[in-house]
Structure 1
Amino acid sequence: MASLILTSENQIQRLNGILTRIETISKLDVEKLTTSPRPKSWNVVEVIEHLNMAYRIYVPKIDDTLAKSPDIQKETEGFKARGWQKFVIQGQLSKDGKRKMKMKTLKRFTPIFAASDLTQEKIDEVFANFFELNNHLKQSILSSRSKDVSKKKFSSAIGPIVNFYLPEAFEFLLCHMERHMVQIDEILESKRL
């Protein structure tokens, strides 16, 4: 099994690409953002809110870990993801523009909007929260560059079955977003048919 070396440069580049894409998507009309391709499927706004819900759990964990991680003088070359964490991270990856496998979402990460709730104001709020949360992610990745990220771990959003060092958590969150970007593309593509 090949090593997975994580670098803040790669993570920031990918995050910037996602933010640019979501900025474009946020300007689509309400119908495109709120129509599901099938019954019981999420629409674009629900996917974005799911990402918001998932990331909010990590904010205090990341903040606490950054605060408790010792400073370093020189940034490291990269961080080698550990075996189980690498497996969990790579489980999020898409292949050839398709999600590898369907995953059941835990109820606490399932956005529930009534159709009447999805006003332009509510949609704008969901996207604003996304950009605020992911600015936090970007700043956290940048801050981690001057920290010894190999000293403190924290449990994932699903509990202590998976624990992460900061670079592993950042990678998991990015792969999770990239997976859902594929889902958004699928939703938008279904509207073109």
Structure 2
Amino acid sequence: MKLYYALPLCLLLACGSEQGSERSGNESNDTALARENTKPSSSRESTERIAAEPVTVTVDASSYENPIFLKFEEGLIVAEQDSAWDLSVKRTQFQTNSGTSGDGAIGVFHSGKKDFEAVNECVFDALAYDEELPVPGPPGSGTFSGNPILNDWYDYDFATHSVTSKGDVYLVTDENVCFKLQILGYSRGVFEIRTASLPLP
């Protein structure tokens, strides 16, 4: 097991408020907390990747103001100030380093599967990049920059005001990295996320 520690980030992400309270997720022994820094650069050196064992981490994205910037490197870790970032997350809202959110080319593909072990190939077709999305809530709540596929990761129960992961498996990739990702649990902005690298074509 690996432990990843950091302090809360000091960077605002323009998105709206989250609906209601959230349903508890599962606990994990691997922990990734927020690191206080500014938004990292989007540059990345080309790196050869091979398939690796799954890693499960806990990501604290409970701040309503400061997103957590993450990168894939032997799992999912908090991005340093001077490093490339792949994902950012604040409460339920995800960004990738692409499109309206960053200068990178990180795209997301929905595998259509919930069985983590059944997803074994990296896909570069039909990737979704960040764009302006409507903030969850009543019409006219505004927009935020996010990934249209990855931000569909949960179900919201209007009766109980709870957020529950759909358990879908996503591919997060650019020309230098390919990872599969599954959100196992969520509670009040704290995620349990499973990832594993896949070999590049």
Could you state the TM-score of these two structures normalised by the residue count of structure 2?
0.25
- Name the structure where strand makes up a greater proportion of residues: 2
Could you state the TM-score of these two structures normalised by the residue count of structure 1?
0.26
